[in-house]
Chain A
């Protein structure tokens, strides 16, 4: 009997099944290596660099690699910067809640109340389409909407509801919150709709036949099943809002300073070490938020 074997001697102890498994694994790792390498070099390494530079010595226009905690001390003793942390967390919390409150009923309508698949898809597409507009243009679009001579004030004055234009609408924390909610709410609507769409309508009908009120059905069936969607949406919204600076820069009239704005302005004045400190603080906050969320939901399973 002739044997066709190309195995190297060291492999002879392995069965064909193990060899195949080894080969498949090696192939998978080979395919994955370029991507992981890319991420390691261009994402992980820069992030390490941020942490490292946060301990460098800042002079007026340059940084030196002499290690010091001076930037950290300055950051943590400055009420302006600690205030930025507080502002970031406050804006994040409000926007997160706002996206859930504003988005959930819409998701409920599209995911559960619209039975027609075509209409359902059309509505979802309608929610997503604004994304094909430049993000910065969408932000700037709030200015003619909210300004003292903007659309809202114009309409309210026409209707005689107000006599003086409302000035708090633009260049305030309010305009930042409205802008962010509008931009990010879709990331909440999408995942929740997806989860609600998975609910078998017959389950709800059966519950209704058994005499359950909508309140009961919502509490017992709809809410629990949609929670993973809320969590996934919350992760999306959180990471985006926490890293924000453009909306605040263009709509707050410098009244709202997020950590992102601190980083941008520090880099603008070449205070690299200081920007790095703000970066590390931001990283810690985001990591904490994501870690918390991932404890509550397995992202890999939900996608």
Chain B
């Protein structure tokens, strides 16, 4: 179990992490979702020991690891750019840790070969061992990077936007594979990403990092359906967040959120009395295949989005520049305390 306790990191005046409390349980695929600049890479670098925190404690199974040199932490790290050793073959890249590590290096060539071949097989690269790392594709490099880390059997594997350098097709295939590999090895993965779909799809649990703090941790479906605060709702990219005072109806006060797919539209003044509603101007629509996205501007300038699923259309024909009443069920509203 990896535990972060009030971990902070500053770069001069910039605060990257501000008292992060965070737990990665055993045998878990944990996604960490954060926008660029939210400090998510910093968090991984602190755990791996490439940098040290200004405050707070990092421990694995109760033993502090902050202050330890990174090569003694026994934590795997998969880089966004893969960071393969350009002067070594695929096989030697994977065997590198076994051969040269400080703790229990493997001297027996036969064992090295066996374990390296197993790791290559695990990531689906049997027979690629002799290749130069410059002679394989991006997806294959990603696998080499993964095999290189997994072969050393680290206590936890940190993945820094591991799919960021891959194209869309490859990304979804690697998602499935990463999950399957992890389940076979029963080691915890901490996967950092800026994409909410990736985070929700991959994670047994998902944590949201915003403004240097973990704002919510939970199962993907819980997080998606019941964000606890505006920040984590914003990261799901599925919630309209606006001020309750814009609405007529029983919605409480302060910032509220309603999911893109839970808002209906009527002509002005036609909204059902029982449902909270607000007036907004239709800006434009975006057609995404199975779904269509419509953009509205509320009276205070807030941008609102509504998703319509083509199989069950529920929106009327909209005219750009016209105002409509947007309404939703009272129980669709999520009320947040504090500022939006």
Contacts and interface: CB of A to CB of B under 8 A. Distances in A.
Do A and B associate with each other?
yes
Contact of A17 (B53, B59, B62): B53
A5 B52 contact: no
Contacts of A15: 52-55
B62 A2 contact: yes
Contacts of A48: none
Contacts of B54: 15-18
Majority SS at the chain B contact face? loop
Contacts of A4: 63-65, 67-68
A67 B19 CA distance: 67
A119 to B, nearest CB: 26
Contacts of A5: 64, 67
B3 to A, nearest CB: 9
B66 interface: yes
Q: With a 10 A CB-CB cut-off, give which of A2, A5, A15 has the most chain B CB atoms.
A: A15
A115 interface: no
Interface in A1-51: 1-7, 15-20
A15 B57 CA distance: 10
Interface residues of B, number: 14
A1 B63 CA distance: 7
A250 B190 CA distance: 72
B61 to A, nearest CB: 10
A1 B58 CA distance: 12
Interface string A187-203: 00000000000000000
B99 to A, nearest CB: 25
A7 B62 CA distance: 19
A12 to B, nearest CB: 11
B148 interface: no
Interface residues of A, number: 13
Nearest to A7: B67
B169 to A, nearest CB: 33
A185 B249 CA distance: 83
Contacts of B59: 1
Nearest to B9: A17
Q: With a 10 A CB-CB cut-off, give which of A1, A5, A7, A16 has the most chain B CB atoms.
A: A16
Nearest to A20: B52
A2 B63 CA distance: 6
Q: With a 10 A CB-CB cut-off, give which of A2, A7, A17 has the most chain B CB atoms.
A: A17
A92 B206 CA distance: 70
B243 interface: no
Interface in B75-113: none
A235 to B, nearest CB: 34
Contacts of B261: none
B155 to A, nearest CB: 14
B177 interface: no
A4 B65 CA distance: 7
A7 to B, nearest CB: 7
A300 to B, nearest CB: 22
A16 B62 contact: no
B211 interface: no
Contacts of A16: 52-54, 66-67
Contacts of A2: 62-64
A19 B51 CA distance: 11
A20 B51 contact: yes
Given A4-B64, A17-B52, 10 more contacts: A1-B59, A1-B62, A1-B64, A4-B65, A4-B67, A15-B53, A16-B52, A17-B51, A17-B54, A20-B51
23 contacts: A1-B59, A1-B63, A1-B64, A2-B62, A2-B64, A4-B63, A4-B64, A4-B67, A5-B64, A5-B67, A6-B67, A15-B53, A15-B54, A16-B52, A16-B67, A17-B51, A17-B53, A17-B54, A18-B54, A19-B52, A19-B67, A20-B51, A20-B52
Interface of B: 9, 51-55, 59, 62-68
Interface of A: 1-7, 15-20
